[in-house]
Amino acid sequence: MPSIDALADRLSTYLGKDQVNLVRRAYFYAEQAHDGQRRRSGEAYVTHPLAVANILADMHMDHQSLMAAMLHDVIEDTGIAKEALSAQFGETVAELVDGVSKLTQMNFETKAEAQAENFQKMAMAMARDIRVILVKLADRLHNMRTLEVLSGEKRRRIAKETLEIYAPIANRLGMHNVRVEFEDLGFKAMYPMRSARIYQAVRRARGNRKEIVNKIEESLSHCLKVDGIEGDVSGRQKHIYGIYKKMRGKRRAFNEIMDVYAFRIIVDKVDTCYRVLGAVHNLYKPLPGRFKDYIAIPKANGYQSLHTTLFGMHGVPIEIQIRTREMEEMANNGIAAHWLYKSSDDEQPKGTHARARQWVKGVLEMQQRAGNSLEFIESVKIDLFPDEVYVFTPKGRIMELPKGSTAVDFAYAVHTDVGNSCIACRINRRLAPLSEPLQSGSTVEIVSAPGARPNPAWLNFVVTGKARTHIRHALKLQRRSESISLGERLLNKVLNGFDSALDRIPAERINAMLAEYRLELIEDLLEDVGLGNRMAYVVARRLLSNEGEQLPSPEGPLAIRGTEGLVLSYAKCCTPIPGDPIVGHLSAGKGMVVHLENCRNISEIRHNPEKCIQLSWAKDVTGEFNVELRVELEHQRGLIALLASSVNAADGNIEKISMDERDGRISVVQLVVSVHDRVHLARVIKKLRALTGVIRITRMRA
């Protein structure tokens, strides 16, 4: 175990003397605070904070992060207050320690709500200072390295949460080395047998391949020397968990994965990367479609490199990554490398650091818009596994999106308002469905319309957390405004029957009622009425009369237009259509459900003014309504085609069709037909009756 002196020597290579002394002081403070405490392994507890600081020193992190690493368990384990740390080491270090302490209470094996709440804490802590998550990742890494002292069940629990949450976060922040170690250690703890077998197979394969690897390395180095290019060529090793994931995901045998030889070439400048690419393509033939330029278009986590696959000697496939030394550092340490290349405290974050900040900002925005913590974690988990596609806006700007994203995801990535008002899209100048998954290199154009609204069906195919959160948020707002509008109409309808109106009720009476119901605004009351949580008749009675005084029932039906939106639905049991005599059932939380007047499902509450309201169809009612028909006819060839052409001739549309033979001669066909009103339905039935062999047509009702 390295001592504080050994750590101080390492830190003096990139930190000033005063900063190293501050780190030393934090160590001695932690040593005193944890005096007498031991780890499960029997070592003094202070060895853990020292190991965490060593991990951060490998990443060349700043002195405040290292001090926070030394003190990260002090608040939680020793009872020392945050204020005491603030007085000793300054506000910034105290805030970092407090942030990490809150994350330490995260427990991903408890029920889903607790996991989600903890994840929200993480988002808040990261938003205040992103170094909090770096200290937490280093803390988790040392715990993973020392897992063997724990019981099997606890090992598996910690390994599971590491693979599910911490490894993806490390990946999202571009920290390749940390992610790889998390995955390999997590895999070993979760599946010790599988891990051991793959590890032994890799060792054997590497021994057998040594000669061919050396030959390829020599030929690549010689090729660079001939072209006068300086660069380091090294073999790249696949990590155990990566091999396991490829074997499972691509259903390949171990030998197929190990047959590919991987190399990395590190050079000094960006333009040299492209010269190296030309040189290796001259040496071996490149594999078509396998070249990727992540220098011009970096990955979402800031990763930059050129990737190409070549046909080597004897047709052996060779994967090559070409990058600069700075890109190598960024690829390995990601956001942590920002502190290594940062020249002054005032410098604006760029590259990986800017992307990480942007991601955290997006996470916070999702948290504010999400209805609950479960909705939030669902969105963020999608966001943590971004196998990206790169698409272009019509003006040539590059947008990066997770794999499987659609035009709706793209629209919300451009701007929330563009997503909310989106009605169609063009992919590479052709009109395409909004649900079509985007391919890298496509140009996407969004067609929007003022006043357009998100469609609830979009939730079935959007991929990004941002799109999902904003669609849900917009639908909630839409539902609220529609509920308020319907509630106002229902209340005024009842009040009109008593020769009154909402705007004629004294303000003090309304305020008294709001206070009684513990509501803040009149809109909240109207929303409750529109959603069916409060009955318009009861609310009107309370507004107009003294307690207990009975009012007469209002006269005349309420006209509905069919455009009331999410708070008005049509009962599936009796499928009413314009022209049918109807009644409205106020269902708590759902709003108004429209039934046929003689529907058996509401026969018991039909005359209760608190549960049902008389309705009529407005003259300007619009839309398409589904009706189920049962057609009995003699069996004949081309039966379905005949029925379809008859419905089509009457301007109807078949939504669903099913058929069963009653006997060898008579067939019974169930049709769900989309019509405008009763007159339209009569036209459809008339056309069907004209068919030869039709015995009976019945409109189905529950």
- Report which of 413, 422, 425, 299 is spatially closest to residue 366, judged by C-alpha positions: 413
Whole-number Å distance between alpha carbons of 364 and 128: 11
20, 63 Cβ separation under 8 angstroms: yes
- Please tell me the distance from the alpha carbon of residue 39 to that of residue 45, in angstroms, as a whole number: 5
Q: Cβ contacts of residue 8 below 8 Å, gap of 6+?
A: 20, 23, 24
- HSE (side-chain half, CA atoms, 13 Å) at 100: 31
Catalytic residue, chosen from 76, 227, 326, 597, is 76
Q: Does 77 qualify as catalytic in the annotation?
A: yes
Selecting among 31, 43, 58, 77, the annotated active-site residue is 77
Identify the CA nearest to 553 among candidates 497, 504, 633.
497
At 84, which amino acid appears?
Answer: A
Whether 184 is catalytic: no
Q: Residue 174 contacts by C-beta under 8 Å, 6 or more apart in sequence?
A: 301, 302, 303, 330, 331, 333, 334, 335, 337, 352, 355, 356
- The per-type count for the chain, helices as H runs and strands as E runs, is 28, 20
Round to whole Å and give the CA distance between 577 and 627.
8
Nearest to 416 by CA among 456, 365, 364: 365
End-to-end Cα spacing for the chain: 76
Q: Quick check: 174 and 141 in contact, CB under 8 A? A: no
307: left (phi over 0), alpha (psi -120 to 50) or beta: beta
Three-state secondary structure call for residue 344: coil
Per-residue burial over 200-237, b if 16 or more Cβ lie within 10 Å, else e, is: eebeeeeeebeeeeeebeebbeebbeeeebebebeeee
Tell me how crowded residue 394 is: count the other CB atoms within 10 A of its CB: 11
Give the DSSP H or E segment for 266.
strand 261-267
> Which residues have a catalytic role annotated?
76-77
